[in-house]
């Protein structure tokens, strides 16, 4: 979104048009809406802004629920925003630590600041991009003076009177639409500056879940977060925001269900064992946090291969930290023989999972030419040097 579009949108006429828009879900919806609004005589900037925002509001429902219908977005800002239920959990940690005033440095469209303000904390939100700062100010306007948005950089922000900080360094090139990933030294603010500030005052730092673990300071709590099966972020907590004795945590959220696994250090793995009656796939947050061994011990399970994150057991146990499959049998790993075996078993609907092998599940599914009314899960992996195909059912 350009500044001219934002200025056209933030008028009584623009906001009325936006609020009256039906959901815009497809390219055809966009074309129809643009044609109608231009026919009604609205300016190109206003039409572009209203239709773009209507489409983004539809997409944003997955992250912000019903609140999306009263928010503004940029495409890049929405993609990078924290899901509201996760933002609220982060905000709760600041409140539970007794803090009253939090600075959100690099607030984007204001997703995390919404969580903080929604729990009654005073928020000073800082954003370097002028258009994005304007959008954040609109999104936080219902909180009045308790949520101030400033246009500026994290490095120059005035932190007088602030109890703690939340930082979400920009890890992609600047822009409101297409962006590209950058190196930690090129982030805004740079990672070294972020860690220095987190050493000097209590901080929560949102980073990508794939951050090199060697970059994580020894004196922080590292919490990996997954939502509905996707590992979405790594948060580093410092000072009073870090929990005593916790250095590794995996927070797993599935719908309304929330579970967390914590430890003072990486967990040691369980030994490798033969494939049993059940196979378990640890959640991505558990894998990133290196707490697979703790989950294995809770299930009475062992590793299927020392280098691959699959567990196996004989007991009919599962946990919120794994997806569990009941093993039917092992099948030939050769594609032609595998296709024949699946057709003989009448399997026409097949979920394909893989780890440790170079396979494109979508392409393989097409080549298998499945036929039949049965459904199953096919797990392709490697045990030692041997490629293995395991036919199973989700528990």
The predicted-structure confidence for 209-229, as pLDDT tens digits, reads as follows 999 999 999 999 999 999 999
Which of 64, 89, 104 terminates a domain? The answer is 64
Rounded Cα–Cα distance for residues 132 and 148 (Å): 14
Of 199, 201, 248, which Cα lies nearest the Cα of 225?
Answer: 248
User: Residue for token digits 């055809």?
Assistant: 28
Residue 181's pLDDT is what? Answer: 64
Residue 183's pLDDT is what? Answer: 74
- Asked if residue 169 is part of any domain, the answer here is yes
Strand 374-383: give its sheet, edge to edge: 302-305, 308-313, 278-282, 322-331, 386-394, 374-383, 347-355
Rounded Cα–Cα distance for residues 16 and 103 (Å): 32
The token pair at 355 is 């780890």
Do 148 and 190 share a structural domain? yes
Of the pLDDT bands very low, low, confident and very high (cuts 50, 70, 90), residue 111 is very high
Do 103 and 168 share a structural domain? yes
- Asked if residue 185 is part of any domain, the answer here is yes
Residue 187's pLDDT is what? Answer: 86
Q: Which domain holds residue 166?
A: 78-263
pLDDT digits (tens, 9 = 90+) for 274-306: 999 999 999 999 999 999 999 999 999 999 999
- Asked if residue 109 is part of any domain, the answer here is yes
Half-sphere exposure in the Cβ direction for 22 (13 Å, CA): 9
Q: Write out the DSSP string of 231-293.
A: EEEEEEE-GGGSPTT-SEEEEEEETTEEEEEEESSPPPPPPB----SEEEEE-HHHHHHT-HH
Do 99 and 46 share a structural domain? no
Residue 176's pLDDT is what? Answer: 57
Do 238 and 120 share a structural domain? yes
User: Who's near 165: CB < 8 A, 6+ residues apart?
Assistant: 102, 103, 104, 105, 159, 197, 198, 201, 202, 203, 204
Q: Are strands 374-383 and 386-394 parallel, antiparallel or unpaired?
A: antiparallel
- Taking residues 134-154, report their average pLDDT: 96
Residue 231 backbone phi and psi in degrees, to 5: -80, 115
Do 31 and 86 share a structural domain? no
User: Who's near 256: CB < 8 A, 6+ residues apart?
Assistant: none
Do 14 and 103 share a structural domain? no
Which of 247, 263, 279 terminates a domain? The answer is 263
Do 130 and 209 share a structural domain? yes
Which of 236, 263, 290 terminates a domain? The answer is 263
* Residues of the chain above pLDDT 90, percent: 93
Residue 188's pLDDT is what? Answer: 86
Cis-peptide, bond into residue 352, ω within 30° of zero? no
Do 140 and 43 share a structural domain? no
Rounded Cα–Cα distance for residues 130 and 132 (Å): 6
- Asked if residue 70 is part of any domain, the answer here is no
Residue 70's pLDDT is what? Answer: 94
- Taking residues 191-195, report their average pLDDT: 94
- CA 302 from chain centre, in angstroms, equals 29
Of the pLDDT bands very low, low, confident and very high (cuts 50, 70, 90), residue 170 is confident
Rounded to 5°, the CA angle 260-264-268 comes to 90
Q: Which CATH number belongs to the domain containing residue 246 in this structure?
A: 3.40.50.150
Do 163 and 87 share a structural domain? yes
Do 144 and 53 share a structural domain? no
Number of neighbours of residue 322 by Cβ within 10 angstroms: 26
3-class SS of residue 8: helix
User: Residue for token digits 């495409």?
Assistant: 75
Distances (CA, A) of 263 to 211, 241, 291, 355, 388: 19, 16, 8, 26, 33
Lowest mean pLDDT among 20-29, 104-113, 321-330: 20-29
Q: H or E element: which one contains 303?
A: strand 302-305
For residue 124, pLDDT beyond 60:
yes
Domain count, the chain: 2
Residue 66's pLDDT is what? Answer: 94
pLDDT digits (tens, 9 = 90+) for 320-373: 999 999 999 999 999 999 999 999 999 999 999 999 999 999 999 999 999 999
């Amino acid at each position: 979104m350009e500044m001219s579009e934002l200025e056209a949108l933030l008028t009584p006429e623009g906001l009325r048009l936006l609020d009256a828009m039906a959901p815009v879900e497809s390219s055809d919806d966009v074309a129809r809406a643009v044609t109608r609004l231009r026919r009604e005589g609205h300016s190109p900037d206003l039409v572009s802004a209203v239709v773009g925002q209507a489409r983004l509001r539809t997409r944003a429902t997955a992250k912000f629920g019903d609140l999306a219908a009263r928010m503004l977005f940029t495409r890049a800002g929405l993609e990078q925003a924290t899901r509201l239920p996760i933002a609220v959990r982060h905000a709760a940690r600041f409140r539970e630590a007794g803090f009253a005033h939090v600075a959100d440095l690099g607030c984007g469209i204001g997703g995390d600041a919404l969580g903080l303000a929604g729990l009654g904390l005073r928020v000073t939100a800082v954003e370097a991009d002028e258009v994005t700062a304007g959008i954040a100010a609109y999104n936080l306007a219902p909180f009045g003076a308790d949520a101030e948005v400033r246009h500026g950089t994290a490095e120059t922000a005035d932190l007088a009177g602030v109890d703690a900080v939340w930082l979400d360094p920009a890890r992609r090139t600047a822009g409101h639409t297409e962006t590209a990933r950058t190196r930690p030294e090129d982030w805004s603010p740079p990672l070294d500056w972020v860690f220095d500030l987190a050493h000097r005052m209590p901080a929560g730092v949102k980073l990508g879940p794939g951050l090199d673990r060697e970059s994580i300071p020894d004196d922080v709590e590292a919490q990996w977060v997954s939502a509905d099966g996707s590992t979405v972020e790594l948060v580093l907590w410092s000072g009073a925001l870090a929990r005593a004795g916790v250095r590794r945590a995996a927070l797993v959220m599935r719908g309304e269900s929330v579970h967390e696994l914590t430890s003072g250090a990486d967990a040691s793995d369980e030994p490798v064992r033969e494939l049993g009656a059940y196979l378990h796939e640890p959640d991505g947050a558990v894998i990133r946090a290196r707490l697979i061994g703790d989950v294995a011990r809770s299930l009475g399970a062992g590793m299927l291969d020392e280098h691959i994150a699959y567990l196996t057991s004989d007991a009919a146990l599962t946990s919120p930290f794994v997806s569990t499959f009941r093993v039917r049998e092992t099948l030939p790993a050769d594609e032609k023989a595998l296709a024949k075996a699946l057709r003989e078993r009448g399997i026409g609907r097949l979920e394909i999972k893989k780890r440790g092998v170079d396979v494109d599940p979508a392409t393989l599914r097409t080549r298998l030419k499945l036929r039949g009314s049965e459904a199953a899960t096919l797990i392709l992996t490697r045990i030692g040097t041997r490629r293995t195909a395991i036919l199973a059912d989700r528990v």
